[in-house]
Amino acid sequence: MTKRTSSAPLEDWDRKYLWHPFTQMQEWAQETPLIIERGKGSALFDTEGRVYLDGTSSIWVNLHGHRRLELDRAIKQQLGKVAHSTLLGLSNPPAIRLARELVRIAPKGLSRVFYSDNGSTAVEVALKMAVQYWQQRRPNAGPKKTFLHLKLAYHGDTVGAVSVGNIELFHSRFKPLLFPTIAAEPPYCYRCPLKLTYPSCDMACIDPVERMLKTRHRELAGFIVEPLVQAAAGMIVQPPGYLKRIRELCTQYEVLLIADEVATGFGRTGKMFACQHEGVTPDLMAVSKGLTGGYMPLAATLTTEEIYRAFLGKYEEFKTFFHGHSYTGNPLGCAVALANLEIFRKEKTLAGLRPKIAALARWLPPLKQLDHVGEIRQRGLMVGIELVRNRATKTPYPVGERIGHRVAREARTRGLLMRPIGNVIVLMPPLSASLAELQRMAAIVEASIRSL
């Protein structure tokens, strides 16, 4: 325990000056804010010295734990050189080295790296690249200017990313700002939109997707998907072969496949990228969250030489990709991202995940015995537990009951930080969490659900 610090003025100032994301501030103002002061490994410590397990990887970004010596050091070393310089007309060593490293580990065929600052901007870049690509490469392919996406998709909070997203609660307010898109039913097997059962359904949900591609491909610049797991939808796990089939269809109908690996990238599903489970190379791939191991805001959009080449020409042809952010290729971010990827190599992180993933797959299913657990979904270290009022009928809890929120509250008093998505309890531990820590997280989740 650290010495008790006085957090009273901080609590007041938080209520007085801050506006928290995705937060009803009227509620927030009546609670005592939990103020995190430091971290170590899978643990976070508040200003009162209380310790919590980081069950969300600090909202899906942390990989190798907090205060990793190598990552701290990478930032300090880079600080000794320069904190920031620009990629507009200049370059810098960490940005160059990181691009090379990303190409090395990415699905084969992705060979170019364009930096931005967060998952939403990485998606925006992919959307704009796709539209401009068709204009310059194949103007006769159609007015390819919109996108196909899945319902319940989440690709970020900026306006373009919201346009291709489909989470009613987050997005409905902003409809007047959005561009038109085409939405397909997701493979949400627990609540199958076609009322079928996997695997006897033979993935019938792909058929309407194929029909849309077939009839509307001339309008479609791309199909954007979260490969394998629709995370913010409540960890909806796609059946094996789904992504591969989407890849085949996109190729067949000449629609670019955009993989949003912002949540799934960097080991979260058990492989470096989710696409690699199915041997899929997308045409564009957005990464962020885990890219710096949870240290700095940084993102990248990777693409193929085919797409890159469509942007080459004389200046006055105006084929340039006119897009960029002030902090594009930030050296501190790129330096820590390099050190982050180096840990994967040095510690064989991916191989080390296998026993952890298997252990969670043993510890979680018994929770299905609990009265209100409808489904447990796990892919790698991404877990969603869907709570229902009635298991037989799969009747959801009314939103107003805030069941997920209440379970997370219980978990917090037991020393585990979680952030639910509606009625889905989400567990996304750092890849570095030990077996003992994972077991403790699973036990706290169980006790918290039981207590309600």
Ligand X SMILES: *Cc1c(COP(=O)(O)O)cnc(C)c1O
Q: Which residues bind ligand X (CB under 6 A)?
A: 118-120, 123, 154-156, 226, 231-232, 260, 262-263, 288-289
Specify which residues 388 forms β-bridges with. 396
Q: How far is the CB of 260 from ligand X (least distance, A)?
A: 5
State the residue number with the nearest CB to ligand X.
119
Tell me whether residue 123 or residue 335 sits nearer to ligand X (CB atom).
Answer: 123
Tell me whether residue 44 or residue 291 sits nearer to ligand X (CB atom).
Answer: 291
Tell me whether residue 232 or residue 449 sits nearer to ligand X (CB atom).
Answer: 232
Terminal-to-terminal C-alpha distance of the chain: 30
Q: How far is the CB of 225 from ligand X (least distance, A)?
A: 10
Tell me whether residue 47 or residue 292 sits nearer to ligand X (CB atom).
Answer: 292
Q: How far is the CB of 242 from ligand X (least distance, A)?
A: 16
The answer to whether residues 422 and 234 touch, using CB atoms and an 8 Å cutoff, is yes
Angle at 367 between CA 361 and CA 373, to 5 degrees: 120
Tell me whether residue 112 or residue 155 sits nearer to ligand X (CB atom).
Answer: 155
The Cα-based distances of 173 to 159, 168, 178 in angstroms read 12, 9, 10
Name residues whose C-beta falls within 8 Å of residue 332's C-beta, 6 or more positions apart in sequence.
75, 78, 79, 83, 84, 94, 296
Q: How far is the CB of 223 from ligand X (least distance, A)?
A: 15
Q: How far is the CB of 4 from ligand X (least distance, A)?
A: 34
Tell me whether residue 388 or residue 425 sits nearer to ligand X (CB atom).
Answer: 425
How far apart CA 99 and CA 111 sit, in angstroms, is 9
Tell me whether residue 127 or residue 263 sits nearer to ligand X (CB atom).
Answer: 263
Q: How far is the CB of 278 from ligand X (least distance, A)?
A: 17
Q: How far is the CB of 119 from ligand X (least distance, A)?
A: 2
Tell me whether residue 290 or residue 374 sits nearer to ligand X (CB atom).
Answer: 290
How far apart CA 265 and CA 288 sit, in angstroms, is 8
The answer to whether residues 259 and 217 touch, using CB atoms and an 8 Å cutoff, is no
The encoded tokens of residue 395 equal 């009747």
Cβ-in-10-Å burial (0-12, 13-18, 19+) of 272 comes to buried
Q: How far is the CB of 367 from ligand X (least distance, A)?
A: 24
**CA dihedral over 217, 221, 226, 232, signed as positive or negative:** negative
The answer to whether residues 102 and 302 touch, using CB atoms and an 8 Å cutoff, is yes
Tell me whether residue 257 or residue 262 sits nearer to ligand X (CB atom).
Answer: 262
The encoded tokens of residue 246 equal 């989407």
SS3 string, 361-403, reads: HHHCHHHHHCCCEEEEEEECCEEEEEEEEECCCCEECCHHHCH
Tell me whether residue 155 or residue 372 sits nearer to ligand X (CB atom).
Answer: 155
The residue to which tokens 């627990």 are assigned: 190
Q: Which run of H or of E encompasses 300?
A: strand 299-303
Q: How far is the CB of 226 from ligand X (least distance, A)?
A: 5
Q: How far is the CB of 134 from ligand X (least distance, A)?
A: 23
Q: Return the C-alpha torsion angle 257, 105, 320, 121, nearest 10.
A: 70
